[in-house]
Amino acid sequence: TAKSEERNALRFYTPKMHADARRRLQLAADLRQALVRNEFHLVYQPSVELRTGRIVAVEALIRWKHPDRGNVTPDEFIPIAESLGLIRLIDRWVLETACAQVCRWDEAHLPPIRIAVNVSAGSLGHPDFVAGISAVLTSTGLPAKRLLLEITESAILHLGEDTQRTMLALHGLGIGVAIDDFGTGYSSLAYLKLPSVKFLKIDRSFITGLPNSSNDAAITEAMVAIARSLDLNTIAEGIETEGQHEFLLRAGCAEGQGFLYSRPLPTEEIERLLAPNAKQPAKKLTLVPPKR
Ligand code: C2E
Ligand code: MG
Ligand code: MG
Ligand code: MG
């Protein structure tokens, strides 16, 4: 009955849960102020061509430096921002900041790279989403083909019947989309044929077990094969070991990101990596600056 369920619910409401709920409430209150107080910044993680180590793109990743609590991870505050309806403002800030940054790198004559920006369900579903992106491209002057939007399967599912229209509009603008965390959500291979989808990002959870886990190996190879037959590019996420790198290279995966190559870095460090004669830290796989 409802009564006994309620009792059970209370019984399972532990002090830890109480503390977690208080933290969420506090973060929610502070999140409303974070944008105007300039508490967000971006870091950028290089994406490399696996065969050569050449940097072909960077992914913008948001960071929140909370005045009292220090760094709060996006995995914690993005869902809160979603539930408060703040995600549109945050995603818009990220898009503007990242696009403007890439344009500054262009102006400094660093080689042109692609910029990937994550988009939440709450942003994607808004009627003005495409117009907002178009406005940012116009104001920054970044060519549409240099922008890649990373969208998860669940965000696409959330779009429902607007999916085709939104994706067609992005396609019309020349903006590419990557399916982020592929294989973890409500995976539908139908997403891979949507207009403007150009990349499939294999989720880190499949990469972790490589090369030894035969399941992860089979799934990864299958994903690469599907992507190839649909003329999509694959990016593997979360590559940490040379064994993973070797496996993915042999499987025919073109691109990868992960701590093996580089952690997400602040602007100045990315600039150093992009510079034509960049001195690389001693590493097994040397990062190569992008093509001019
Ligand atoms: P994501 O888009 O799938 O980003 C990949 C996450 O994996 C990042 O975590 C990155 O730092 C981490 N990562 C990269 N390489 C490795 C590796 O080799 N090993 C391990 N263990 N982790 C690696 P981060 O920055 O904490 O972001 C987490 C998630 O938060 C992102 O997942 C994305 O869904 C969301 N997010 C981050 N920035 C933004 C943003 O600006 N807007 C929105 N809407 N979401 C964002
Ligand atoms: Mg991403
Ligand atoms: Mg991902
Ligand atoms: Mg993720």
Q: Please tell me the number of the ligand nearest to residue 258's CA.
A: 1
The string of pLDDT tens digits covering residues 23-58 is 999 999 999 999 999 999 999 999 999 999 999 999
Give yes or no for residue 195 CB within 6 A of ligand 1: no
Specify the pTM: 0.91
- pLDDT of the residue at 133: 97
How far, in Å, is the centroid of ligand 1 from the Cα of 61? Answer: 6
Atom of ligand 1 nearest to the CA of 201: 3
The string of pLDDT tens digits covering residues 237-283 is 999 999 999 999 999 999 999 999 999 999 999 999 998 776 665 45
**Mutate which of 93, 118, 240, 283 for ligand 1 pocket (most atoms within 8 A of beta carbon):** 118
**Mutate which of 39, 44, 58, 61 for ligand 1 pocket (most atoms within 8 A of beta carbon):** 61
For ligand 1, atom 23: residue with the closest CA: 238
Give yes or no for residue 257 CB within 6 A of ligand 1: yes
How far, in Å, is the centroid of ligand 1 from the Cα of 17? Answer: 25
- pLDDT of the residue at 227: 96
Q: Going residue by residue through the chain, which has 292 residues, state the pLDDT in tens, using 9 for 90 and above.
A: 445 555 555 566 678 888 888 999 999 999 999 999 999 999 999 999 999 999 999 999 999 999 999 999 999 999 999 999 999 999 999 999 999 999 999 999 999 999 999 999 999 999 999 999 999 999 999 999 999 999 999 899 888 888 889 999 999 999 999 999 998 887 788 899 999 999 999 999 999 999 999 999 999 999 999 999 999 999 999 999 999 999 999 999 999 999 999 999 999 999 999 987 766 654 556 788 888 7
- pLDDT of the residue at 290: 87
Give yes or no for residue 96 CB within 6 A of ligand 1: no
For residue 252, what are the contacts with CB-CB under 8 A and spacing of at least 6? 224, 225, 228, 234
**Mutate which of 59, 78, 156, 270 for ligand 1 pocket (most atoms within 8 A of beta carbon):** 78
How far, in Å, is the centroid of ligand 1 from the Cα of 194? Answer: 24
- pLDDT of the residue at 187: 75
ipTM over 0.95: yes
3-class secondary structure, 27: helix
Give yes or no for residue 118 CB within 6 A of ligand 1: yes
Atom of ligand 1 nearest to the CA of 87: 44
- pLDDT of the residue at 16: 81
Chain CA centroid to CA 44, Å = 10
- Report yes or no: 210 and 220 within 8 Å, Cβ to Cβ: yes
- pLDDT of the residue at 195: 93
How far, in Å, is the centroid of ligand 4 from the Cα of 247? Answer: 21
How far, in Å, is the centroid of ligand 2 from the Cα of 138? Answer: 23
**Mutate which of 129, 133, 237 for ligand 1 pocket (most atoms within 8 A of beta carbon):** 237
